């Protein structure tokens, strides 16, 4: 959420910066609410001052033994008027809060202007795409040929955009997650966290999924009085779209001691997304699923060091791809392609031979104080004053998409898959997937 004081003092500048994101700030609605707020606030303060002054008169009159009934009646009337003004002010403040909840973050000054992904500059590449001397298959064909991916059974169980992995491919999927966790913990200094896969609405408001992106979420629906009673202590639960949500909310309504910064969390979880608005995109295979696994990185940082932390976080995600020897490139997202809560984002895209293209496998963002302001996540500064933290997140990596990249980049002419050397110890020494 943006700082309302900034909006009050620099509205034109903020309008221009949001316009770079393709967002038209509702300035007329904001100014109208602000005018009402100022008027009611002035009235409220005036009534409070008048009530205090009359209360003093009552005290003095009582000391003198004078009749205070008329003054007491005036105070009672003032109380009713003040209560009405306070209620109106509360309604206006709530409307301002709701308006701000729909507004995206401001882009950092280093983010290039642009409208879509075609305007994203490429920063660097690592590795060279393999040259094949045989006809390559996509990952779905490979998995079905090996009889290790079963889309038909998944559709019977759950519908479209689900998959069933079998045997050594399921084991390879698990090995990838374990390898990623071990690398981030042992080499990059993250603290592993196991989090709930169901979270309340406050968590999703804190990180920015609610209220704007409710259609992308899977929510728990109760259908009987018994179920309603069972969930009475935990209403409005949603399946997590990413572990970023519970990990970042761990510092909600907290003041983190300065000496503990930065906090570095890693978690492996399933993620659940309705993929609203993605009709017709990547309907075949594992690229865009309603349920997928991800190893998520979150850093909670001092504002002075958050962009240094962003660069390190990107490097941690890149390191996984380097160890797996998968070619990739790093893109800097333009203003029109960034996520709602991000101030600056790097996308890492892995090479997929069957698509003859690079596809996103990790998105790493600095949200600055946008999420912290929603969550009231703070630290005590060097001067002892509570200040808002900066929050960062990134995939380290999306497990399913990494599996896709392995299947396509490590395929052999006979249909088998060579297992990268760094994963073989997680596979009991197995070096190849075969039928």
**Whole-model pTM?**
0.92
Q: Which parts are annotated binding residues for ATP?
A: 273-275, 360-363
* Mean pLDDT score across all residues of the chain: 94
Q: What is the mean pLDDT of residues 157-180?
A: 97
User: Which pLDDT band, with edges at 50, 70 and 90, does 53 fall under?
Assistant: confident
* C-alpha span between 357 and 351 (Å, rounded): 6
CA distances from 257 to 253, 374, 384 (A): 13, 19, 10
Q: What is the mean pLDDT of residues 328-338?
A: 98
Please check the confidence at residue 223 and state whether its pLDDT lies above 80: no
Lowest mean pLDDT among 55-64, 256-265, 302-311, 382-391: 55-64
- CATH fold of 26-102 reads Helix Hairpins (1.10.287)
pLDDT for res 12: 96
Which residues in the chain are classed under CATH 3.30.930.10? 117-433
pLDDT for res 228: 58
The DSSP letter of residue 116 is S
| 213: three-class secondary structure by DSSP | coil
Q: What is the mean pLDDT of residues 56-83?
A: 79
Please check the confidence at residue 234 and state whether its pLDDT lies above 60: no
Q: Which parts are annotated binding residues?
A: 242-244, 273-275, 296, 360-363, 393, 395
| 8 Å CB contact between 371 and 206 | yes
Give tens-digit pLDDT for 258-277: 999 999 999 999 999 998 76
Please check the confidence at residue 6 and state whether its pLDDT lies above 70: yes
Please check the confidence at residue 11 and state whether its pLDDT lies above 60: yes
Give tens-digit pLDDT for 77-91: 788 888 999 999 999
Please check the confidence at residue 54 and state whether its pLDDT lies above 90: no
Please check the confidence at residue 401 and state whether its pLDDT lies above 60: yes
The DSSP letter of residue 106 is P
* C-alpha span between 247 and 186 (Å, rounded): 19
Q: Which parts are annotated binding residues for L-serine?
A: 242-244, 273, 296, 393, 395
* Max CA distance (Å), the chain: 107
Please check the confidence at residue 362 and state whether its pLDDT lies above 80: yes
* C-alpha span between 300 and 261 (Å, rounded): 7
Please check the confidence at residue 18 and state whether its pLDDT lies above 80: yes
User: Which pLDDT band, with edges at 50, 70 and 90, does 61 fall under?
Assistant: confident
Q: Which of 88, 96, 100, 95 is nearest to 41 (CA)?
A: 88
pLDDT for res 233: 57
For the domain spanning 117-433, the CATH number is 3.30.930.10
Lowest mean pLDDT among 47-51, 210-214, 319-323: 47-51
DSSP labels, 222-253: --SHHHHHHTTTS-S-EE-S-THHHHHGGGTT
Give tens-digit pLDDT for 95-110: 999 999 999 999 999 9
Which residues in the chain are classed under CATH 1.10.287.40? 26-102
Q: Which of 304, 411, 429 is nearest to 368 (CA)?
A: 304
pLDDT for res 282: 76
pLDDT for res 406: 98
Please check the confidence at residue 435 and state whether its pLDDT lies above 90: no
């Amino acid at each position: 959420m943006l700082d309302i004081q900034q909006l009050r003092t620099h509205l034109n500048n903020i309008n221009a910066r949001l316009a770079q994101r393709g967002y038209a700030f509702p300035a007329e609605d904001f100014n109208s609410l602000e005018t009402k707020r100022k008027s009611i606030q002035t009235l409220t303060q005036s009534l409070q001052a008048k009530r205090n002054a009359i209360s003093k008169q009552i005290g003095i009159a009582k000391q003198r033994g004078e009749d205070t009934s008329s003054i007491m009646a005036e105070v009672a009337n003032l109380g009713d008027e003040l209560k009405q003004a306070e209620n109106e002010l509360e309604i206006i403040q709530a409307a301002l809060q709701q308006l701000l909840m729909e507004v995206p973050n401001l882009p950092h000054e280093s983010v290039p202007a642009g409208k879509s992904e075609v305007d994203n500059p490429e920063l660097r590449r690592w590795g060279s795409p393999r040259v094949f001397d045989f006809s390559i298959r996509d990952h779905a064909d490979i998995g079905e040929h090996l009889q290790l991916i079963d889309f038909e059974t998944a559709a019977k169980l759950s519908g479209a955009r689900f998959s069933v992995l079998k045997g050594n491919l399921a084991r390879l999927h698990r090995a990838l997650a374990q390898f990623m966790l071990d690398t981030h913990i042992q080499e990059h200094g993250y603290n592993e966290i196991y989090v709930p896969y169901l979270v309340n609405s406050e968590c999703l408001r804190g990180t920015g999924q609610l209220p704007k992106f409710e259609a992308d979420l899977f929510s728990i629906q109760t259908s009987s009085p018994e179920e309603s009673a069972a969930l009475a202590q935990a209403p409005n639960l949603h399946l997590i779209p990413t572990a970023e949500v519970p990990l970042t909310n761990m510092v909600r309504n907290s003041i983190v001691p300065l000496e503990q910064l930065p906090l570095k969390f890693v978690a492996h979880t399933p993620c659940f997304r309705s993929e609203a608005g993605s009709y017709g995109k990547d309907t075949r295979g594992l690229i865009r699923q309603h349920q997928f696994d991800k190893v998520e990185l979150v850093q909670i940082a001092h504002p002075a060091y958050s962009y240094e932390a962003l660069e390190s976080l990107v490097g941690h995600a890149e390191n996984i791809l380097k160890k797996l020897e998968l070619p990739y490139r790093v893109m800097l997202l333009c203003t029109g392609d960034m996520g709602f809560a991000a101030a600056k984002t790097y996308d890492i895209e892995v090479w997929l031979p069957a698509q003859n293209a690079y596809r996103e496998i990790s998105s790493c963002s600095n949200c600055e104080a946008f999420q912290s302001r929603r969550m009231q996540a703070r630290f005590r500064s060097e001067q002892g004053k509570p200040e808002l933290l900066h929050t960062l997140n990134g995939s380290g990596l999306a497990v399913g998409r990494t599996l896709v990249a392995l299947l396509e980049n490590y395929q052999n002419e006979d249909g088998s898959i060579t297992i990268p050397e760094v994963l073989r110890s997680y596979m009991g020494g197995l070096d190849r997937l075969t039928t």
